[in-house]
Amino acid sequence: MIRTHTCGELRAGDVGSEVVVCGWVDSVRDHGGVLFVDVRDHTGVTQTVAHPDEQPEGFAAAEAVRGEWVVAVRGRVRMRPEGTQNPDLPTGAVEVPIDAVEVLSVAEPLPIPLDERTETDEILRLRHRPLDLRKERLQRNLRTRARVSAAVRAALEAEGFVEVETPTLIRSTPEGARDYLVPSRQTPGSVYALPQSPQLFKQLLMVGGIDRYYQIARCWRDEDLRADRQPEFTQLDLEASFAEPEDVYAWIEAAMRAAFEAAGRSGELPETIPRLTWHDAMDLYGSDKPDLRAGPPIVDLAGVFAGTAFKAFAATLDAGGTVRGWRFRGGGDLTRNRLDGLIERAQHLGAKGLVWMVVEADASLRAPVAKFLSDAELAGIGAALDAEPGDLLLLAADTAQTASAVLGQLRLDLDRPAGHAPVEAGGAGVSPLWVVDFPLFEDDGAGGLTPLHHPFTSPHRDDVHLLDTDPAAVRSHAYDFVINGVEMGSGSVRIHDAAVQARMFEILGMEEAEVRSRFGFLLDAFRHGVPPHAGFAVGWDRLLMILCDERSIREVIAFPKTQTGADPLTGAPAAVGDDVLADVGLQMTPEARAVAAAEAGTEAGDSGA
């Protein structure tokens, strides 16, 4: 053992002990006659000190060390002199006189600062990720992540869930997102795909009698990235036989509580997690992942404007549309410029227009359109939106869907709390909910239907009869868990009835040959005794992002990628030689070759590196 103690553990009780502490030189404070070297590791900082007359050898050696050198310091722990103890440091009562210091490794000046006050450009942080990882923020996040994973594993094991690994070189099933492809050397011309999720395999595990499966699984989707989307990401995936939605809700809620507790945020989830139907979520918040923290729900005002003389509203209502409104508490002091900006924003979002009203001190409504509205209508608006003086009211007349979508987005623009910090830390806390009863299908934009979730999602038991008459109206047994407007995970009851599954494929317009080719192995397995089963998958990076109060999942991933899917640390993705390609039966097109050459030229000439 090179060290006897970590840098964060020495206390007054250790005085007199001969110790060796190891770590990085956090700071050197040279007073000429007395020299302090703070040694840091992931547990904290210990002050070591040398006087030229008391520790002549240690002083001489310590004078040479610089920031971020890796050192081992040996000495006998002593109390700091009266009046020089540092109550802000856990180790601040003691210090280690430098009897000897061994330089384990020197360090050049760092390309990025490690102090927590400077917000370094993210490309530099990623390029120098090993250094960035030394900082407390990522140390804290990654350790939280490990604790949360362990706690959730324990919680699921306690419920009888069994961790099973599934393959990551799989058959491409061209549904949903684009697959990442891995060419095969042994079968040139054929490719594996990296799984977008373990979906099919976990269903096969149910056929295999595993009964309750879970896995913290890596998934890959070749789509454009966002703050909460990486090309490779992690899911807590689970599936259970003989289970209903209520069972899944209970397991996931238990896992979430375990996760919050492990992150030091127990008690922040409400006793009862609210549930909203998908339909209500779309009406009330214009979103299937509402952030319940951002102001009140949207209110339908069709009743207020029945028979209105205001032509713009009347025309919309006559055409089968509606008028909806949202109240922004205290928004009445927005400048005219801001208000005009809101109208522009609404139009950009697809609204024909936007009506704003400011609630005056006497509760009257000040608005450009007020003169077109009756007193009863104005009073009705104020009552329906629970308006108070100083509020801003926003009204949109459109189809129900568009009106809610536009007001829902403005609601987020204007009133969504930033971040996910606990209430006691001054944040807006967390507000989870279940969104249930998603539609089974959505319009594919070409006159057909496409699964909203995936083609193995069970129709709602009350809507099966609609499959033949009105499939677009069929609800599913699919459900999402949402926290703070972030889709935290989704799941469903799966189809285990061969006839229903066949009908699904039929409605989706999939030929039998195509079905057999893509999913034959699953359907075959289902022919030999498949239990009813249901499952769920939690976006693990997103959950950790919220638990760690981060704005991007990159802050809870050790080695994340940029928005273009690149890793600035290793330079991935990178070209490979023609011989390597030939090995797997591939050849670069002239176009690809030109791009690769341009890239190489850019790297050499552009000082961006």
Partner RNA sequence: GGUCCUGUAGAACAGUCUGGAGUGUUCGCCGCCCUGUCAAGGCGGAGGUCGCGGGUUCAAAUCCCGUCAGGACCGCCA
35 to 74, contacts with RNA by CB under 7 A? 36, 38, 47, 49, 51-53, 66-67
Which of 249, 269, 143 lies closest to 480, judged by CA?
249
Q: Which of 15, 20, 70, 89 binds RNA (CB under 7 A)?
A: 89
Rounded Cα–Cα distance for residues 342 and 348 (Å): 10
Q: Is 343 in the site for RNA (CB under 7 A)?
A: no
Tokens of 249: 């809700």
Strand partners, 130: none
Minimum distance from residue 177 beta carbon to RNA (Å): 3
Q: Is 606 in the site for RNA (CB under 7 A)?
A: yes
Q: Is 413 in the site for RNA (CB under 7 A)?
A: no
Minimum distance from residue 537 beta carbon to RNA (Å): 8
Tokens of 306: 């029945």
Q: Which of 106, 123, 154, 306 binds RNA (CB under 7 A)?
A: 123
Q: Which of 1, 2, 109, 527 binds RNA (CB under 7 A)?
A: 109
Minimum distance from residue 165 beta carbon to RNA (Å): 17
Q: Which of residues 231-260 bind RNA (CB under 7 A)?
A: none
Q: What is the 3-state secondary structure (H, E, C) of 414-447?
A: HHCCCCCCCHHHCCCCCCEEEEECCECEEECCCC
Rounded Cα–Cα distance for residues 248 and 457 (Å): 15
Chain position carrying tokens 């797997």: 584
Long-range contacts of range 525-532, CB-CB < 8 Å, 24 or more positions apart?
A: 525/204, 525/207, 526/207, 526/496, 526/498, 526/501, 527/498, 528/207, 529/207, 530/206, 530/207, 530/496, 531/206, 531/207, 531/241, 531/242, 531/496, 532/241, 532/242, 532/243, 532/493, 532/494, 532/496
Q: Which one, 14 or 95, has the nearer CB to RNA?
A: 95
Which of 555, 601, 556 lies closest to 575, judged by CA?
601
Q: Which of 17, 120, 149, 168 binds RNA (CB under 7 A)?
A: 120
Rounded Cα–Cα distance for residues 371 and 311 (Å): 12
Rounded Cα–Cα distance for residues 16 and 77 (Å): 5
Q: Which one, 42 or 147, has the nearer CB to RNA?
A: 42
Q: Which one, 281 or 317, has the nearer CB to RNA?
A: 281
Mind giving me the DSSP string for 33-85? S-EEEEEEETTEEEEEEE-TTTSHHHHHHHTT--TT-EEEEEEE-EEPPTT--
What residues contact residue 248 under an 8 Å CB cut-off, 6+ apart?
A: 240, 479, 491, 534, 535, 536
Q: Which of 141, 166, 172, 199 binds RNA (CB under 7 A)?
A: 199
Q: Which one, 40 or 265, has the nearer CB to RNA?
A: 40
Specify the stretch interacting with RNA by CB under 7 A; choose among 105-113, 246-254, 359-367, 418-426.
Answer: 105-113
Q: Which one, 175 or 300, has the nearer CB to RNA?
A: 175
Q: Is 34 in the site for RNA (CB under 7 A)?
A: yes
Q: Which one, 36 or 372, has the nearer CB to RNA?
A: 36
Rounded Cα–Cα distance for residues 216 and 235 (Å): 6
Is there a contact between 432 and 483 (Cβ–Cβ < 8 Å)?
Answer: yes
Specify the stretch interacting with RNA by CB under 7 A; choose among 84-92, 98-106, 210-218, 293-301.
Answer: 84-92
Q: Is 29 in the site for RNA (CB under 7 A)?
A: yes
Is there a contact between 570 and 562 (Cβ–Cβ < 8 Å)?
Answer: no
Is there a contact between 374 and 309 (Cβ–Cβ < 8 Å)?
Answer: yes
Q: Kindly state the number of chain residues that form the binding site for RNA, as judged by CB under 7 A.
A: 74
Q: Which one, 308 or 402, has the nearer CB to RNA?
A: 402
Q: Which of residues 209-228 bind RNA (CB under 7 A)?
A: 221, 223-228
Q: Which of 18, 86, 303, 472 binds RNA (CB under 7 A)?
A: 86
Q: Is 261 in the site for RNA (CB under 7 A)?
A: no
- φ/ψ of 281, rounded to 5, equals -60, -40
Q: Which one, 11 or 226, has the nearer CB to RNA?
A: 226
Is there a contact between 46 and 91 (Cβ–Cβ < 8 Å)?
Answer: yes
Minimum distance from residue 127 beta carbon to RNA (Å): 9
Q: Which of 95, 132, 179, 541 binds RNA (CB under 7 A)?
A: 95
Q: Is 77 in the site for RNA (CB under 7 A)?
A: no
Minimum distance from residue 400 beta carbon to RNA (Å): 18
Q: Is 280 in the site for RNA (CB under 7 A)?
A: no
Q: Which one, 111 or 274, has the nearer CB to RNA?
A: 111
Measured over the CA atoms of residue 380, residue 384, residue 386 and residue 391, the dihedral's sign is: negative
Q: Which one, 564 or 589, has the nearer CB to RNA?
A: 564
Is there a contact between 112 and 132 (Cβ–Cβ < 8 Å)?
Answer: yes
Q: Which one, 49 or 62, has the nearer CB to RNA?
A: 49
Q: Which one, 86 or 517, has the nearer CB to RNA?
A: 86
Q: Which of residues 450-479 bind RNA (CB under 7 A)?
A: 450-455
Q: Is 607 in the site for RNA (CB under 7 A)?
A: yes
Q: Which of residues 533-592 bind RNA (CB under 7 A)?
A: 552, 554, 562-564, 566, 568
Specify the stretch interacting with RNA by CB under 7 A; choose among 89-97, 238-246, 519-527, 542-550.
Answer: 89-97
Chain position carrying tokens 């604790």: 147
Q: Which one, 297 or 568, has the nearer CB to RNA?
A: 568
Minimum distance from residue 572 beta carbon to RNA (Å): 11
Minimum distance from residue 105 beta carbon to RNA (Å): 15
Measured over the CA atoms of residue 553, residue 557, residue 560 and residue 565, the dihedral's sign is: negative
Specify the stretch interacting with RNA by CB under 7 A; choose among 2-10, 118-126, 183-191, 372-380.
Answer: 118-126
Q: What is the 3-state secondary structure (H, E, C) of 450-504?
A: EECCCCCECECCCCCCHHHHCHHHCEECEEEEEECCEEEEEEEEECCCHHHHHHH
Specify the stretch interacting with RNA by CB under 7 A; choose among 183-191, 392-400, 517-525, 600-608.
Answer: 600-608
Q: Which of residues 155-184 bind RNA (CB under 7 A)?
A: 175-177
Q: Which of 16, 111, 330, 520 binds RNA (CB under 7 A)?
A: 111
Minimum distance from residue 508 beta carbon to RNA (Å): 10
Which of 340, 326, 324 lies closest to 396, judged by CA?
324
In degrees, rounded to 5, the angle at the alpha carbon of residue 182 between the alpha carbons of residues 176 and 187 is: 120
Q: State the DSSP code for 178.
A: P
Q: Is 121 in the site for RNA (CB under 7 A)?
A: yes
Specify the stretch interacting with RNA by CB under 7 A; choose among 85-93, 255-263, 331-339, 372-380.
Answer: 85-93
Instruction: Name the amino acid, one letter, at 361.
Output: A
Specify the stretch interacting with RNA by CB under 7 A; choose among 182-190, 241-249, 444-452, 509-517.
Answer: 444-452
Chain position carrying tokens 């009330």: 284
Which of 387, 382, 364 lies closest to 301, judged by CA?
382
Q: Is 31 in the site for RNA (CB under 7 A)?
A: yes
